């Protein structure tokens, strides 16, 4: 029996020495270098998601089938956080438009309110009923009763005084103005800032100036209410000239801007005028 076992061991040793055992390192190669023989290909990085701004609430129509009403609200997607900027005046209308557009309130991370007027904040309570797990950025001047309502709904809030970072590549201008305190949202894109205003009570030029002071560079677009309904043509034309001096490349006035103001902006900006209303979706390449 021992003779048989010895013979088997001799045969195995002979096979390993002639053919080479699989666990034996290659000649003159340290064992630790074996894995380097077949390097794995580097993973391809997926391209950054486009930044989108979708108008959810406005008194101007864009997509048929969506409801309009006096007020403003839009959704900013593609950043580190999804932001709802203003909620319009009617929460049921806001949510109905979101549902028709296939947008879920539960996907929103942050809410930014431009100013206290009801046509920009009236939809908040209904929205928080659907998604209370958000942080609401509101001007510090908002009344204590409003802040209590936010807390009672289960949400958190941040009081904005000076310019404030909202999330990566998005910031508030800080509250501006005297009688009516208002903040604008500015988003960094590959072509420059996109400044979103609710009503621009402190003046759209002043709000763009502030955004440019916080983040020097080109202003790619200004979107939202410009608070210029019924304003004389000469004053509108002066505002247009000032915005162009600030380097504003494209303009998309809506809500309280006024029909005549939109006409004058369209004449002056030409192809760089953007007609917006409920359902309009704008896309921007992300900042580096």
Where are the domains positioned within the chain?
51-282
Q: Can you tell me the distance from the alpha carbon of 105 to that of 36, in angstroms, rounded to the nearest whole number?
A: 49
Give residue 255's pLDDT. 98
Beta-strand ranges (E) seen in the chain are 51-57, 73-77, 83-85, 110-112, 135-139, 156-160, 164-167, 170-172, 185-189, 192-197, 219-225, 248-254, 281-284
Residue 166 CB contacts under 8 Å (≥ 6 apart), including other chains:
81, 83, 110, 112, 137, 172, 185
Give residue 48's pLDDT. 66
3-state secondary structure 111-129: EECCCCCHHHHCCHHHHHH
Give residue 140's pLDDT. 98
Give residue 277's pLDDT. 98
Each of the 288 residues of the chain gets a pLDDT tens digit; together they read 444 444 444 334 343 344 443 333 333 333 333 333 344 444 444 456 899 999 999 999 999 999 999 999 999 999 999 999 999 999 999 999 999 999 999 999 999 999 999 999 999 999 999 999 999 999 999 999 999 999 999 999 999 999 999 999 999 999 999 999 999 999 999 999 999 999 999 999 999 999 999 999 999 999 999 999 999 999 999 999 999 999 999 999 999 999 999 999 999 999 999 999 999 999 999 998
Neighbours of 29 (CB within 10 A): 11
**Is residue 74 within 8 Å of 51, Cβ to Cβ?**
no
Structure tokens at 233: 């043509």
Q: Can you tell me the distance from the alpha carbon of 88 to that of 150, in angstroms, rounded to the nearest whole number?
A: 16
Distances (CA, A) of 93 to 31, 218, 241: 68, 35, 36
Give residue 10's pLDDT. 39
Give residue 162's pLDDT. 97
The fourth-level CATH superfamily of domain 51-282 is: Ribonuclease Z/Hydroxyacylglutathione hydrolase-like (3.60.15.10)
Give residue 288's pLDDT. 83
Structure tokens at 123: 């939809």
Answer yes or no: pTM beyond 0.85. Answer: no
Give residue 44's pLDDT. 42
Give residue 47's pLDDT. 53
């Amino acid at each position: 029996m021992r003779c048989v076992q010895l013979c088997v061991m001799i045969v195995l040793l002979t096979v390993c020495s002639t053919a080479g055992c699989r666990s034996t390192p290659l000649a003159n190669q340290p064992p630790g270098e074996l894995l380097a023989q077949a390097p794995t290909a580097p993973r391809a990085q997926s391209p950054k998601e486009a930044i989108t701004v979708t108008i959810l609430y406005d008194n101007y129509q864009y997509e048929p089938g969506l409801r309009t009403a006096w007020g403003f609200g839009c959704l900013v997607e593609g950043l580190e956080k999804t932001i709802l900027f203003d909620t319009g005046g009617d929460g049921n209308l806001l949510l109905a438009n979101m549902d028709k557009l296939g947008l879920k309130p539960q996907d929103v991370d942050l809410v930014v309110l431009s100013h206290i007027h009801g046509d920009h904040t009236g939809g908040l309570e209904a929205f928080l009923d659907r998604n209370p797990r958000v942080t609401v950025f509101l001007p510090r001047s908002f009344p204590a009763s409003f802040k209590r309502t936010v807390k009672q709904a289960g949400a958190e809030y941040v009081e904005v005084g000076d310019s404030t970072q909202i999330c990566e590549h998005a910031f508030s201008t800080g509250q501006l103005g005297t009688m009516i305190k208002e903040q604008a949202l500015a988003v960094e894109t590959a072509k420059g800032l996109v400044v979103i205003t609710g009503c621009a009570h402190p003046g759209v030029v002043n709000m763009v100036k502030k955004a440019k002071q916080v983040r020097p560079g080109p202003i790619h677009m200004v979107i939202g209410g410009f608070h210029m309904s019924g304003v004389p043509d000469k004053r509108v034309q002066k505002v247009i000239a000032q915005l162009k001096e600030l380097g504003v490349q494209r303009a998309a006035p809506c809500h309280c801007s006024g029909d005549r103001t939109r006409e004058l902006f369209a004449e002056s900006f030409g192809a760089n005028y953007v007609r917006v209303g409920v359902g309009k979706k704008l896309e921007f390449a992300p900042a580096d």
